[in-house]
Structure 1
């Protein structure tokens, strides 16, 4: 079963096509690595899933629910972390999460649960404005995990973390499907981390999907095209470079 599925999903801003006829298939209970260079359309796609921007054409379903008909229920079931999360600086980490808890009408215990999951329990009373960038990223992830939703949409969740923090968050994300029976769509520029946590990947370039499938299938596909496929980073860079070359030849 696909937890997230898109059908020719397209987003156009003026004469710029940010996402073009995108057909994603994110299987239930997996970690799906959503990859692409800056401006490829990853964040735009994630924003469409969360109702933050409206598709120009095409459609998508999440957990069998269709947008825009089931928009509210989609949001209720989706935990999200998009770009750098914003918090009230004069409130503590705990108080910021409690605001989310009240909006979602969740039990008080969900705040402590989320803080513990991301390793912020000992810093919960500190004002958010005094949090380091890495701590703010953790707090954003805690907000996404509130109530343990069945779908998580995470955009660069390890941004600003030190190597130890990156390892901890990667281990946490990798464990989520089995622990909480959820599905994770995660984008990251740290391809070595995606290689360690993702079951499948989708690679975007200029708003178009170049590849979707398992890492093993990606390596085989790249090798069959004569591209280097020793690791995800090399394979990714070669796919993007080859696609850019083809695009320049068409001009």
Structure 2
């Protein structure tokens, strides 16, 4: 596994760092000794097939589920002693965001704002960031799927947290909606100097926005490095550097085959 680091970075250069975090449910290992290094100010694409352990890893980073073993830091803060501080510093979009259907978009965000203790102006700022200002007074149940995804992102962006953890935010969107959300996410680090960890099961989508990527399969990290390094790896493996999706699928298939062989021994 390749790491997108030259030597060891100073910890201050990493917004998120995990060390062998593992999540076990009885005999099932959902996340297996994952070490991740997310550079401050970067977009880190977290890739893997459905069920690879991406959501479980993100939930551990947010303190929503406790690691069975291993340690991690978010923005220099340690889990579990700094759990509340980590939550305050991190905006998140995990799975499908839930709403109060009979409240407006603005009212839904205002509930989150009050819980976080943020000023009222933060709601309008978040709506503007995601392009929902003119729809803030519309009931959430009348939002399109793309608008609901934007509202979920607005909730994550309230107070402009320095770290965003986004779990497949374009899932279920049509091509136009994917394009809109992708462009929005890509613009965020420059807009207010944040770091983004974003998951997907499609490398072709992530490679358009990410600086670094980590590839997960059956809870194990198969690769971590820069996109440029992955392109070099694609060329050396006989794939075209302009079609990284083929390399990604080949890496996953190779790992699956190796797992089957080990199971037969």
Normalising by structure 1, report the TM-score.
0.96
Alignment of 1:125-164 (within 5 A): 125-164=137-176
Give 4+ residue runs of structure 1 displaced > 3 Å after superposition. Answer: 222-230
Query: What residue ranges of structure 2 are gaps of 5+ in the alignment?
Result: 1-12
Q: Distance in 1 between matches of 2:207 and 2:86?
A: 28
Kept in 1, the 8 Å contact 2:234–2:244? The answer is no
How many residues end up aligned between the 2 structures? 251
Q: Distance in 2 between matches of 1:224 and 1:164?
A: 34
Partner of 2:178: 166
Partner of 2:133: 121
1:235 alignment partner, SS class: helix
Is 1:104 aligned with 2:116? Answer: yes
Q: 103, 106, 123: which one pairs with 1:91? A: 103
Partner of 2:64: 52
- After the TM superposition, which of the residue ranges 126-135 and 228-237 deviates more from structure 2? 228-237
Aligned-residue Cα RMSD (Å) equals 1.3
Kept in 1, the 8 Å contact 2:47–2:202? The answer is no
Q: Give a deviation string over 1:96-152, Cα, whole Å, max 9, x none.
A: 001111111111111111111112122111111222222211110000000110000
Report the CA distance between 1:228 and its aligned residue: 5.8
Report the CA distance between 1:229 and its aligned residue: 4.7
Is 1:77 aligned with 2:95? Answer: no
Kept in 2, the 8 Å contact 1:5–1:61? The answer is yes
Q: Distance in 1 between matches of 2:195 and 2:103?
A: 31
1:26 alignment partner, SS class: strand
Query: What residue ranges of structure 1 are gaps of 5+ in the alignment?
Result: none
Q: Distance in 2 between matches of 1:212 and 1:20?
A: 15
Normalising by structure 2, report the TM-score.
0.91
Q: Distance in 1 between matches of 2:56 and 2:196?
A: 17
